[in-house]
Chain A
Amino acid sequence: SAVISQKPSRDICQRGTSLTIQCQVDSQVTMMFWYRQQPGQSLTLIATANQGSEATYESGFVIDKFPISRPNLTFSTLTVSNMSPEDSSIYLCSVKRGGPETQYFGPGTRLLVL
């Protein structure tokens, strides 16, 4: 398995502001993933973060809104920019590890935008 931590665990933010979410993994991984879970919904992949290259975004998500950093093999950040109430969600970091490569999830960051 993998030990994944996220900060903050939750936050309440004002419309128009930005929040950066941190994800730390207990050992090096090639790819890290950011998912969004809107209230009462399933999980949707936002982007894949590779160390040393630009993140790869899924359809419907753009870098200006969700910039991602991946400075090393154990850490990544996701920023939710210019927030609106529609961004209220749980944001989860995930890594792939093991055989067959299974994805493990962090505890999530619960975001409420007022």
Chain B
Amino acid sequence: AQTVTQSQPEMSVQEAETVTLSCTYDTSESDYYLFWYKQPPSRQMILVIRQEAYKQQNATENRFSVNFQKAAKSFSLKISDSQLGDAAMYFCAYRRGNAGNMLTFGGGTRLMVKP
């Protein structure tokens, strides 16, 4: 079975600085997708970024980028120029490719942004 591990229960960053959230996963599949979701206090789950396993290029969405290391099964999220609105729970998630439906989530990392 697939597992997703986020080893940092809490992280803090100064506003305008950069922070990296860690995620590792375990799978025997070669085709899969990885996601980072943000859950602010409103509890709405918001997709931040996604990565297809077959792509070597790291995904980037504005201030958010990932470092995808397939051999190491690592998928970290970098947030640049942190803003107060970035404060939230961040969940890393895995989904098997093709017919895969179920998202397997990590335990989450609470990010605090200091003004």
Number of B residues, CB within 8 Å of A: 20
Name the one of A41, A42, A48, A107 contacting B42, with C-beta atoms under 8 angstroms. A107
The answer to whether B50 and A105 touch across the interface, beta carbons within 8 angstroms, is no
- List chain A residues, Cβ under 8 A from B105: 42-44
The answer to whether B102 and A58 touch across the interface, beta carbons within 8 angstroms, is yes
Q: On chain A, which size bracket covers the interface?
A: 20 to 34
- A100 vs B96: C-alpha distance when bound (angstroms): 12
Q: Jot down 11 A-B pairs with beta carbons below 8 A, ordered by A.
A: A35-B103, A42-B105, A42-B107, A43-B103, A43-B105, A45-B103, A48-B101, A102-B35, A104-B47, A105-B45, A108-B45
6 additional A-B residue pairs with CB within 8 Å, beyond A48-B101, A108-B45: A42-B105, A100-B50, A105-B37, A105-B46, A107-B44, A108-B44
